[in-house]
A and B are shown apart, each in its own frame.
Chain A
């Protein structure tokens, strides 16, 4: 279980210009939690703090009751896998090389048969079989993103943190990616925390939504409780229309020309 307690974070050392202000959160196990909010709301920073990439100014993140900062990095890497926005990569490595990196916390670079089996399984799960020896720069955006998720899978952690995994993906691959993330929970029993830009994807696929604004949590709960006009108008400073589609709330946030 992951609990976030009184996290504060700011741009300066003295605590002025806050990025995160008194964040408290208990992550729902074996479910997708989506972090939503406008740019600069602190979603990515919170994800970074929760996965120990960024040290908070104050407060703590507990995993099964232990502060993550007191856990050895190589042990924490077996519990939490985090994928930041994948920027432009100018390194020539193959899909298989990348996924094998995911075994690093377990193997320290010397792969045994079990590691190889895990790599194979992860590749197959992300339907990358046959592309193992292709270089990452030869893949499409969707395939490359799947390769990174395969690496995260090979890391074999109960918790998976994803920072805007749909970035730079077109509609078809975005939907595909959300389905895969969904299946990580339903089929593999993972706990996923994901920063999403598109609130409709959050509404359709998440089990729990955390809405943030200016470093604070404005609303949290089941999509039906958060994807409402009251909450979203406040979070995004915008006029929303909520409609129901296939049993979930969907947002319309613009008017058509008449």
Chain B
């Protein structure tokens, strides 16, 4: 049996990667120039375009996987790092690192972001699980309020320490910070862990009793999942800023086509997320070419509409 769904997503992925590498302010960079071995063209691609495209793919794939693991752990299709305060807590961590250490190395920032993202995710998931909400569609709304609260706290602290400019700089998602993408590679180890543990995360998604019946150490797998979510959210936030809705809409869209059995679908999920963000990034670079708008803006517009559709469907089903 030919897996057409997979072939389609791979083809789309390759097409968008090529497009992403070819689009830019320098018009000398063409496929022809590259094939002729033009040194300048290759330099531009290697130093500017490749890191950018890699950052897009890694952050998109990472947030998609983080979202799906979060949904499996909470058994709730409406959970995601950006709609449950995780990213806002990461921003708070970065602010504290900036204030107290005056340290701007991406790795220290990521460490602080990770610690706060982790604590906040543990807090939010355990509170949500205890609330036993009748309607799961309310969860992202509560999550966004909670995130807004953390965000307000962050702003208050930033205001007090007079570092507001720094906050507005990290508040916008962008793939345009050339050469500052190194922290995105922190996403790779948790992604590999997610692939290795894919069956276990799928089983966790079936519930605690179900997992225990199969001899799985439920708490340990949940803990590992939370670490993966926090690591991915923190490092992608430090590298490219917030990419709203990705962790929520991509798993929901992808599982419609590829199912929830992570072992089979985790690669499809990552490709699906990458294609979506590559598309949004290319759009952001083309609307006011040769300038570009923040990719969070494009994602917010496109993703926000899709999010609304899912939310309304979820509420209507109630």
Q: Do A and B bind each other?
A: yes
* A residues adjacent to B (C-beta < 8 A): 48, 51-53, 72-78, 81-84, 87, 89-94, 97, 101-102, 104-105, 109, 135, 155
**Max chain B C-beta neighbours (<10 A), residue from A72, A73, A91, A135:** A91
- In the complex, how many angstroms separate the beta carbon of B212 from the nearest chain A beta carbon? 6
* B residues adjacent to A (C-beta < 8 A): 72, 75, 77, 198-200, 202-203, 205-207, 209-210, 212-217, 255-256, 259-261, 263-264
Chain A residues with Cβ under 8 A from B256's Cβ?
A: 92
When A92-B255, A92-B260 are in contact, do A109 and B200 touch as well, CB less than 8 Å?
A: yes
- In the complex, how many angstroms separate the beta carbon of A53 from the nearest chain B beta carbon? 5
Chain B residues with Cβ under 8 A from A53's Cβ?
A: 209, 212-213
Complex CA gap A230/B79 in Å reads: 53
Of the candidates B77, B202, B207, B216, which one forms a contact with A73 in the assembled complex, judged by CB atoms under 8 Å apart?
Answer: B216
Instruction: Please name the 5 residue pairs, one residue from A and one from B, whose CB atoms are nearest each other, closest first.
Output: A77-B215, A109-B199, A74-B215, A97-B261, A73-B215
Complex CA gap A237/B255 in Å reads: 49
Chain A residues with Cβ under 8 A from B210's Cβ?
A: 84
The chain B residue with its CB closest to the CB of A90 is: B77
Chain A residues with Cβ under 8 A from B260's Cβ?
A: 91-93
The chain B residue with its CB closest to the CB of A105 is: B215
Complex CA gap A94/B207 in Å reads: 17
Chain A residues with Cβ under 8 A from B77's Cβ?
A: 90
Chain B residues with Cβ under 8 A from A94's Cβ?
A: 259, 261
Instruction: Flag if A102 contacts B206 (CB, 8 Å).
Output: no
Instruction: Flag if A93 contacts B199 (CB, 8 Å).
Output: no
Chain A residues with Cβ under 8 A from B207's Cβ?
A: 87
- In the complex, how many angstroms separate the beta carbon of B101 from the nearest chain A beta carbon? 42
In the complex, 14 of the A-B residue pairs with CB atoms within 8 angstroms, ordered by the A residue number, are: A73-B212, A74-B215, A75-B215, A84-B210, A87-B207, A91-B72, A91-B260, A92-B259, A93-B259, A94-B259, A97-B261, A104-B215, A109-B198, A135-B259
Instruction: Flag if B209 contacts A155 (CB, 8 Å).
Output: no
The chain A residue with its CB closest to the CB of B258 is: A92
Complex CA gap A81/B260 in Å reads: 23
Instruction: Flag if A155 contacts B214 (CB, 8 Å).
Output: yes
- In the complex, how many angstroms separate the beta carbon of B82 from the nearest chain A beta carbon? 21
Chain B residues with Cβ under 8 A from A90's Cβ?
A: 75, 77
Chain B residues with Cβ under 8 A from A102's Cβ?
A: 214
Of the candidates B214, B255, B264, which one forms a contact with A104 in the assembled complex, judged by CB atoms under 8 Å apart?
Answer: B214
Extra pairs beyond A92-B255, A92-B256 (11, CB < 8 Å): A72-B215, A84-B209, A84-B210, A91-B72, A91-B260, A92-B259, A92-B260, A93-B261, A97-B264, A105-B214, A135-B259
Chain A residues with Cβ under 8 A from B264's Cβ?
A: 97
Of the candidates A82, A84, A91, which one forms a contact with B205 in the assembled complex, judged by CB atoms under 8 Å apart?
Answer: A91
Chain B residues with Cβ under 8 A from A87's Cβ?
A: 207
The chain B residue with its CB closest to the CB of A104 is: B214
**Max chain A C-beta neighbours (<10 A), residue from B202, B209, B214, B261:** B214
The chain A residue with its CB closest to the CB of B203 is: A101
The chain B residue with its CB closest to the CB of A94 is: B259
Instruction: Flag if A91 contacts B212 (CB, 8 Å).
Output: no
When A84-B209, A90-B75, A91-B206 are in contact, do A104 and B261 touch as well, CB less than 8 Å?
A: no
Instruction: Flag if B214 contacts A77 (CB, 8 Å).
Output: yes
Chain B residues with Cβ under 8 A from A83's Cβ?
A: 213
- In the complex, how many angstroms separate the beta carbon of A173 from the nearest chain B beta carbon? 21
Instruction: Flag if B215 contacts A81 (CB, 8 Å).
Output: no
Complex CA gap A87/B206 in Å reads: 10
Chain A residues with Cβ under 8 A from B203's Cβ?
A: 101, 104
Complex CA gap A78/B255 in Å reads: 31
Instruction: Flag if B206 contacts A97 (CB, 8 Å).
Output: no
Instruction: Flag if A104 contacts B199 (CB, 8 Å).
Output: yes
Complex CA gap A135/B205 in Å reads: 15
Instruction: Flag if B217 contacts A73 (CB, 8 Å).
Output: yes
- In the complex, how many angstroms separate the beta carbon of B196 from the nearest chain A beta carbon? 9
Complex CA gap A101/B199 in Å reads: 8
Instruction: Flag if B261 contacts A81 (CB, 8 Å).
Output: no
The chain B residue with its CB closest to the CB of A52 is: B212
Complex CA gap A84/B207 in Å reads: 10
Instruction: Flag if A104 contacts B209 (CB, 8 Å).
Output: no
Complex CA gap A114/B12 in Å reads: 37
Chain A residues with Cβ under 8 A from B216's Cβ?
A: 73, 104
The chain A residue with its CB closest to the CB of B196 is: A109
**Max chain A C-beta neighbours (<10 A), residue from B72, B216, B255:** B216
Chain A residues with Cβ under 8 A from B214's Cβ?
A: 77, 101-102, 104-105, 155
- In the complex, how many angstroms separate the beta carbon of A43 from the nearest chain B beta carbon? 15
- In the complex, how many angstroms separate the beta carbon of B311 from the nearest chain A beta carbon? 15
Chain B residues with Cβ under 8 A from A72's Cβ?
A: 215
Complex CA gap A104/B210 in Å reads: 12
Complex CA gap A51/B206 in Å reads: 18
- In the complex, how many angstroms separate the beta carbon of A70 from the nearest chain B beta carbon? 14
- In the complex, how many angstroms separate the beta carbon of B78 from the nearest chain A beta carbon? 10
Complex CA gap A99/B261 in Å reads: 12
